[in-house]
Amino acid sequence: MSRRTMGDGKDHSTKHTVTSLIPGAPRGPSALERKKMGKIKLRYRRLPDRVTVYKQELLYDDGKLIVSRVTLRPKRPLVHADRVLIGPGYRAIWFVVVGEWHDLGKIYDCQGNLQGYYCDIIRPMRRTAEGLEIDDLLLDLWVSPDRQWLVLDEDEFAEAKREGWLEPPTAARARRELEELIAEVESGRFPPPLVERFTI
């Protein structure tokens, strides 16, 4: 797993945040509203052909923004600088916006402490009868609460390009999405305000 880190940087212009398309979206739902929302099934494909199906608690869906909650069970913990960023039993609030090339997870440890934010670079999600389908484009961004950031899986991204699993235009679009997200972080516009309205 390859990584690179950087502190706060200069301001950069960029196109969006994960929730700028829904400026009037409501605050997180009540416990009763969450109970009524039920479950959502996510079919997640990681190149070249690995598919995992997740069932998540659906918190909000207005047709444009989907918010869900899930308990994480990684095959191995994500560790950086001797700190566990994501481990078994950690919980996440996940945000997916129609048409966007990334999703965003708000990650909490087992004690309910905010660990940071995890962004997958993806093809825009697709609706299914049971939920969502997402294709992972391998590049990931971790952002700590103090806006330090870390790029993950550069080696897997390079392998996918080398093996032809990623077409050059898609790889270029994925790279551009990553750089735009980093610009959001460095400009102080990340995380977007709506993300702060939902908690575990």
Residue 129 sits at φ, ψ, to 5 deg, of -65, -30
Q: What is the pLDDT of residue 12?
A: 36
The domains of the chain are located at 3-197
pLDDT along the chain (200 residues), means of 10: 44 41 48 61 95 94 95 93 95 97 98 97 94 97 96 97 97 98 96 91
CA-based angle 93:165:158, to the nearest 5?
75
Q: Is 196 left (phi over 0), alpha (psi -120 to 50) or beta?
A: alpha
Q: What is the pTM of this model?
A: 0.83
Asked if 190 contacts 18 with a C-beta cutoff of 8 angstroms, the reply is no
Q: What is the pLDDT of residue 93?
A: 97
Q: What is the pLDDT of residue 159?
A: 97
Asked if 3 contacts 151 with a C-beta cutoff of 8 angstroms, the reply is yes
Q: What is the pLDDT of residue 1?
A: 42
d(CA 188, CA 28): 23
Q: What is the pLDDT of residue 19?
A: 38
CATH number of 3-197: 2.40.380.10
